[in-house]
Structure 1
Amino acid sequence: MHNITAEIPHAAATCNETWLIPSPSSEFSLGVLVLLALLMVLLCLVTILGNILVILAFVMDKNLRHRSNYFFLNLAVSDFAVGVFCMPLYIPYSLTGKWHLGRGICKLWLAMDYLLCTASVFNIVLISYDRFLSVTKAVSYRAQQGITSNPAIEMVAIWVLAFLLYCPAILFWEHVAGHSVVPVDQCHAEFFHNWYFLLCASTLEFFVPLLLVTYFNMHIFHNIQRRQRRGSVQDCESARSSSLSWRFCGLPRPGASSPSSEAEDSVSSSVRPKKESLETDCSSPSRGNSVTPENDFSASFCLKTGSKLQRDKKIAKSLAIIVCVFAICWAPYSLLMIIRGACQGTCVHNFLYEATFWLLWLNSSLNPFLYPLCHVKFRMAFLKILCRKKFATLRSGSF
């Protein structure tokens, strides 16, 4: 008779492959199991409520409905589905080590879990790429808004790619192989023994996205630093005190022609790396000089470009936070998956592997809290929703 508890299978390369050998019920006391169950349910509720708040913000606040934030909405939808479907079904399986819902529900759960987790990762890559374009190629990025760029197409493409990576293998692997290797009381993918498939799939799911978002962030910070270095006090003061301010701000003098380029636009949007901002330096003419139309326009333009740079710096910081949280939540599981597969599952304790597995889902719980932390518009939209509900509750209680 085949003894499943004596077998140590390979680890899979996504966020739903955990085999409890032996089951937690045989490792922990009843009190510890109850505590674990409460923590799992709490994480599930936080994931659901947090992402509902993001979705409601888009429904109720029209100021959030522009290209970049639609990608955050796409991410919130995938994270919300993780909390609604994947976590609740996995909790009893995680605590008992046995699947009691049948093969059909198991297949559906596996497909949804792989799909949603992969879509969440791909959405983070798309968000990073969109921020990369908005900061480093601002002119062409604005020109594409509403013309050739359609965020809906990119959002749908994310889900298609996520589906193609794992779901066909989950649904048809046993039919191609001619038999199933999964016991009746277990729920994991048929390909958990195929190390080559797992390595390739995990590379496409985590390591390649991590390299891409790192590349985008490095270029964003490099672009901002280059623009800061090109700015100086002398340039700004000369812009305020002379008619050369037209050239400093990257614009031709009235009546004169000047070869404009994106490089000059980049220079014009730089600020000095000092405590005093460019807006302060360029917002008013220097003492002793009369305010000419040229200087007045120069001050206005410098104020706008300085504000653009400050906004880009905030974008870069917020994106860096989201990406760092993604890397911290996914890296432990991915690394343990490789180690576990290399040593046939004998060198990684199952409890440690289970902890890194739940760390993946923690990313879906943290993402909604990163939006208000990094974006003022999200924070204001959340406050409007929460305060409106609080006001409605007080009103209903007064009657």
Structure 2
Amino acid sequence: MILGAFCIPLYIPYILTGKWPFGRGLCKLWLVVDYLMCTASVFNIVLISYDRFLSVTKAVSYRINPGMTSKAIAMMVAIWVFAFLLYGPAIIIWEYVVGCSIVPDKKCYAEFIYNWHLLLGSSIFEFFTPLILVAYFNIQIFRSIQNRLTTIPQELSESPKSKSQVRRLWCLLKEDASFSDSETEKSCSTSGSQRHLSTSDRPRPSHLYSHTSETDPMGSFKVKTSRKLQRDKKIAKSLAIIVCIFVICWAPYSLLIIIFAACDGNCIKPYLYEISFWLLWLNSSVNPFLYPLCHVKFRNAFRKILCPYKRAESSPRPSVSF
């Protein structure tokens, strides 16, 4: 939103005329905001992927973790501070450190645009490291989902079905943090690696078999599990889409800017640089829509933030979020 409201409107007349008409002060502000927004966008993708990684692979400890809100706020603040420190000070004081400015009048770009050492180092922090982390987190999420896709059907195919087996299946399903039964979370977390529960720790049948019939609880449980596994497949696909779009939008610029600086801008066509530059902004534009489309929880969070009054007026229906 900030890119669309501030950065792009100032850049359009600059790219059309080839001249920056707004002065050096606004130029530096524009550069700081532009670099900050794009870098923070990448770091937030990493943080979201890390959060999803914990919620899927360590669901029980994730959901009962005390102080989760304060830790989340601290991580978000740290991301914005680090994103500013990566480029902000260099944009502001570079010309004073080196003793002169290389940016001509009526032009607006960073003073270090031809310093490929700095650009290579910043690209490692801004693109290559986030790419490795995002890929790792999402691969682990995908592997966890695939493990349940193979383990749970095998558990369901066995007979006879005892309550302990049902409880084991329930704990396996709990690994994706899609359910919110606190009593089940406590019992699963105390069961150890075996995930076996004592009789005294078992919750009431109504906690186990919501929307199930008394005559065939396992049949209803199979239907519910099958639906859950299908949703897991969709989540895995959505994660792959998110990673691919991130790579498509960031890889061209990260590679071109290093080559651009190494050859003093003589070996890269200007239109190629402009295309890669706009891809960065496209990624920041797509992400706020991409995540809610791929995840119900993000969609509900956006509704809660953007439509608080509408949410308060409507009576919420009990539902399970996948």
TM-score tier (shorter): 0.7 to 0.9
Q: Does 1:324 align with 2:244?
A: yes
The letter of the residue matching 2:56 is V
Q: 3-state DSSP class of the match of 2:103?
A: coil
Distance 1:243 1:364, change over 3 A: closer
- Partners of 2:165 and 2:77 in 1: how far apart? 47
CA distance in 1, matches of 2:226, 2:191: 19
Pair 1:102 & 2:23 matched: yes
Matches within 5 A, 1:63-102: 80-102=1-23
Match of 2:191 in 1: 260
1:22-101 alignment, distance < 5 Å: 80-101=1-22
Secondary structure at the aligned position of 1:182 is classed as: coil
Of the two structures, which has the highest relative contact order with CA contacts closer than 8 Å and spacing of 6 or more?
A: 1
Whichever of the two has the greater Rg, that structure is: 1
Letter of the structure 2 residue corresponding to residue 94 of structure 1: I
Deviations 1:75-121 (CA, angstroms, capped at 9, x unpaired)? xxxxx111111111111111111111111111111111111110011
For 1:239-254, list aligned pairs within 5 A: 241-242=161-162, 245=165, 248-249=168-169
Describe the shift of the 1:85–1:248 C-alpha distance in structure 2 as closer, same or farther (beyond 3 A). closer
Match of 2:48 among 127, 131, 139: 127
Q: 1:363: which partner in 2? A: 283
Shift of 1:352: 1.6
Q: 1:240, CA displacement in angstroms?
A: 5.3
Q: Specify the SS of the correspondent of 2:21.
A: coil
Give 2:74's match in structure 1, choosing from 153, 168, 178.
Answer: 153
Q: Which deviates further from its counterpart, 322-331 or 305-314? A: 305-314
- How far did residue 303 of structure 1 move? 7.0
| Partner SS for 2:20 | coil
Distance 1:121 1:246 in 2: 41
How much has 1:328 moved relative to structure 2?
Answer: 0.8
Amino acid at match of 2:45: I
Q: Which runs of no fewer than 5 residues in structure 1 stay unpaired?
A: 1-79, 252-258, 266-278, 286-290, 389-399
What residue number does 1:374 align with?
294
- SS of the aligned residue for 2:31 comes to helix
Give ranges in structure 2 of 5+ residues lacking alignment.
Answer: 172-189, 197-207, 311-322
How big is the alpha-carbon RMSD for the aligned residues of Structure 1 and Structure 2?
3.4
Q: Provide the residue aligned with 2:256 in structure 1.
A: 336
Q: Which amino acid aligns with 2:191?
A: S
Please give the alpha-carbon distance, in whole angstroms, between the structure 1 residues aligned to 2:110 and 2:267. 22
Question: What amino acid is the match of 1:108?
Answer: L
CA distance in 1, matches of 2:104, 2:71: 45
SS of residue matched to 1:119: helix
Match of 2:132 in 1: 211
Q: TM-score of the superposition, structure 2-length normalised?
A: 0.74
Supply the AA of the counterpart residue of 2:237. K
| Aligned residue in 2 for 1:187 | 108
Equivalent residue, structure 2, for 1:59: none
Alignment of 1:223 with 2:144, yes or no, is yes
Find out whether 1:144 has 2:73 as its counterpart. no
- Distance in 2, Cα, partners of 1:219 & 1:173: 41
Structure 1 position 373, deviation (Å)? 2.5
- Secondary structure in 2 matching 1:203: helix
2:283 aligned with 1:352, yes or no? no
CA distance, structure 2, for counterparts of residue 101 and residue 326 of structure 1: 32
CA distance in 2 between counterparts of 1:308 and 1:261 reads: 24
